[in-house]
Chains A and B, each alone.
Chain A
Amino acid sequence: MERYLTFALCKGRLAFQTLELLEKIGIHCEEMKDKSSRKLIFVNEDLKLKFFLAKGPDVPTYVEYGAADFGVVGKDILMEENRRIYEVLDLSFGKCRMCVCGPETSKEKLLHHEKIRVATKYPHIAKDYFFNKKHQTVDIIKLNGSVELGPLVELSDVIVDIVETGSTLKENNLVVLEEICPVSARLIVNQVSMQMNPERIKKIINGLRKIV
């Protein structure tokens, strides 16, 4: 019997964009479109495929341990989690930028090596950027949401976060001070599945590669 191939998708918009993309190469999952369904795992019996939704940062974990063969997740999460997976495709949606942001007045503080405080949901990315690229000493404060508050209530000098349109920043008088890297959705693959199931997996990757 053929093994199921499993996709782990991020809850939310990314999942729908992924399904749209998969439909273009003939992979459907009607079950998943039914919003009233309370199922956690969705199956396409004809193609022997399974799908499930998970929280973003957990997607690379499911893929690393082989609970899912494929995953679709933002580059920001991949950089933060640093898991042993194959990152095979840039799906070129979910585009945004990882940036250092803050009030205009903080710009000065990034020019010297003076110690500053950085609030972020991405402590690893922030640490790597300031320590290894900028060689600036920083205190990193991990926050779990509404990171923009950091500079406003003077918890931190700057923040490291993803910026999509920049409207939240603008409304709060914050600006992008430095860009760390561009971010977009990536297709990731479990290393064992890739090695043990090369034909099926290559077929899906190459199919997607042609249309992104």
Chain B
Amino acid sequence: MKNSLLHTPEGVRDIYGEEYARKLWVEDVIRKQFGLYGYEVIQTPTFEFFDVFSREVGTTPSKDLFKLIDGEGNTMVLRPDFTPGVTRCVAKYYHNLSEPLRLCYQGNTYTNTSSLQGKQKEVTEMGVELIGDESIFAEAETIALAIESLLAVGLKEFQISIGQVEYFKGMCEAAGINDDTELKLRDFISEKNIFGAENLLVEAGISEEHRNRLININDLFGAIDILRSAKKQADNKRSIKAVERLLALYEILCHYRVEKYVAFDLGMLSKYNYYTSIIFKCFAYGVGDVIARGGRYDNLLKQFGKPAPAVGFGLIIDDLMAALNRQKAEIPEESIISVIYNDDNFQDALAEARVLRKEGRSVKLKRM
């Protein structure tokens, strides 16, 4: 056997033995958790037409997508995330949205990320979409479900940071910033780059009063108190409304008893085009990237010809596993019983194994 045949390409890997058993256990627990909240399972194709993930609806720049060409010359894409696919499916098959729709998914996603940065190109994601409910109760439900899923698998030190794009947009509108500057400012503020934002606003000729208000958004992250100071600083109805919505959301999260894991960040402005109001990310020590992200995306279904409000999140299971390992979370291991036989007593051994298997134990027959 040639050794070169044994390699896997960069960014993908084999997961086997105990590691895979642990991963499957985690996936099982989370799927059950989704089930407890009444989410129905859905499976969409691994690859779809390019347009489903295009710039207007997509999360991933075109250059980071794995593309395939079919026999007719159509460009297809390995899904970089689930939401556009699930949304397309809903627009196609669910004609009656008079009642909110709860869907959950599980599978692998693919991004052709830059090499040598220690990131996997294929990861497992699990998530939910709650479609047809525009209330804060829907947002609270998805956030609480994300938190309870993480707690159920034994993660302890983590935090969900919630942002609200509308606050930022209201402040931009009040300051009279044009779209181009707003887009650049969005990048600076999501990177918490104060001096970059300041230079940009000075160049754009924004008054000092508005400049200070906008720059201050950078500091608006942390526990619930920051919402109160955010409200004080807001100079327009749109921003005030945004904060009020977050305050109301927090109250419901308290009823769920998950407020301990929640913080706010009004400078968190996702680069994902499709999020329209609240967005959230889950941070945990020991992982370079967020382990879950979600939010409200009320405009996405419209892209597929079926306007409806929606909110959802996706957990990246591989990063969650890394966080669980770092935090030394305990995952139950299934023990396998060995029943030993030789050529003479095989029947007895088999009978014993049968009894044990019926009891639900894992048994392997071992020949001596």
Residues of A within 8 A of B (CB): 64-66, 82-84, 86-90, 189, 191-192, 194-196, 198-199, 202, 209
Contacts and interface: CB of A to CB of B under 8 A. Distances in A.
A117 B284 CA distance: 44
Contacts, number: 51
A195 B283 contact: yes
Given A82-B114, A191-B283, A89 B288 contact: no
Contacts of A192: 283-285, 287
A195 B286 contact: no
A64 B192 contact: no
A196 B159 contact: yes
Which 9 pairs show the lowest CB-CB distances between chains A and B? A198-B222, A86-B192, A90-B195, A65-B288, A192-B283, A195-B283, A64-B288, A87-B193, A195-B161
A88 B265 contact: no
A99 B157 CA distance: 45
Interface in B284-316: 284-290
Interface string B110-139: 000010011000000000000000000000
A199 B222 contact: yes
Interface in B230-245: none
Given A82-B114, A87-B192, A66 B161 contact: no
B263 interface: yes
Contact of B195 (A82, A89, A196, A202): A89
B173 interface: no
Contacts of A198: 221-223, 263
Interface string B70-92: 00000000000000000000000
Interface in B159-212: 159, 161, 191-196
Measured as residues with beta carbon below 8 angstroms from the partner, the interface class of chain B is 20 to 34
Contacts of B284: 192
B191 A86 contact: yes
Contact of B219 (A66, A87, A196, A202): A202
Given A86-B191, A86-B192, A195-B263, 7 more contacts: A84-B289, A88-B192, A89-B194, A90-B195, A191-B290, A192-B285, A196-B157
A88 B219 contact: no
B82 to A, nearest CB: 21
A87 B191 contact: yes
A88 B159 CA distance: 21
B159 A195 contact: yes
Contacts of B263: 195, 198
A71 to B, nearest CB: 13
Contacts of B285: 66, 192, 196
Contacts of B192: 86-88, 189, 194
A86 B193 contact: yes
Contacts of A83: 117
18 contacts: A65-B288, A66-B286, A82-B114, A84-B288, A86-B191, A89-B195, A191-B290, A192-B285, A192-B287, A194-B192, A194-B221, A195-B161, A195-B283, A196-B285, A198-B221, A198-B223, A199-B222, A209-B194
B160 to A, nearest CB: 9
A171 B343 CA distance: 88
Nearest to B223: A198
Nearest to B158: A196
